[in-house]
Amino acid sequence: MRVLHARRLGSVCAVVAVTVGAVLAGCAQQVPGTPTTDAAEVAAYKTAAAATSSAAASSRAAAARDKAITDNCTQFPTTTGAGVTAFNDFVSAHDSNAPDYAAKRESAATTLDNAATKVETGVVAAAGALPTELADKFSAYVTAARELSTQTRKMTYNSPVDKLNTASRAINQARTAVHDAC
């Protein structure tokens, strides 16, 4: 059996390519006339393209909304639960005149501030994808958490507890509203 040399193979391929190119060029013929469009087909295409684009945008918006709700609602109980625990520890220390009262007061206030910041960050990160009603509930929680933090920091053993109790009720209502909405 005879083996083809690389030069011979290259020459054969070149001859075949030139021959095929010449045949194709000979078969090509320009079609005379002016191109036109069918107005009905153009209108139908535009309508179909707009509907497809609208459906895709709607689908993207729904997916973004679902992700924003899931992301924010999933982390909310854990984030805010830490604030509840720290605040309850502070109340216990206050009620029992515990020696670590000041440390627990500061810990509760800081934890409430951190929870408010984390919830607020989640809402901002959702960039409007959250339904307005739910975003408003998250924002109400943030406001209530910061107010409770402020009132907690003001507490001493001799302070009246009216403002602290009012702030505590407000955060509980805000937390429950978010929980129910999620």
DSSP 159: S
Dig out the tokens for 47 from the structure. Answer: 């309508």
C-alpha dist (Å) from residue 171 to 13, 97, 164? 82, 24, 11
Q: What is the pLDDT of residues 15-62, one digit of tens each?
A: 666 665 655 566 666 767 777 777 777 666 666 666 666 666 677 878
Question: In degrees rounded to 5, what are phi and psi of residue 153?
Answer: -65, -25
Of the listed ranges 50-64, 107-121, 126-140, 159-173, the least confidently predicted one is 50-64
Query: By percentage, how much of the chain surpasses pLDDT 70?
Result: 74
User: What pLDDT score does 149 carry?
Assistant: 98
pTM to 2 decimal places: 0.68
The whole-number pLDDT of residue 61 equals 76
Domain residue ranges in the chain: 65-181
What is the average pLDDT value for the chain, to the nearest integer?
A: 85
40, amino acid identity: A
pLDDT of residue 36: 74
| Lowest-confidence segment of 26-35, 105-114, 158-167 by average pLDDT | 26-35
Percentage of the chain beyond pLDDT 90 is 60
Whole-angstrom distance, CA of residue 117 vs CA of residue 101: 24
d(CA 150, CA 113): 9
Give the other-Cβ count within 10 Å of 114's Cβ.
Answer: 16
42-51, 106-115, 129-138: segment of lowest average pLDDT: 42-51
The model's pLDDT over 66-106, given as tens digits with 9 standing for 90+, comes to 999 999 999 999 999 999 999 999 999 999 999 999 999 99
Q: What are phi and psi of 58, to 5 degrees?
A: -65, -40
Question: Which pLDDT does position 31 carry in this prediction?
Answer: 66
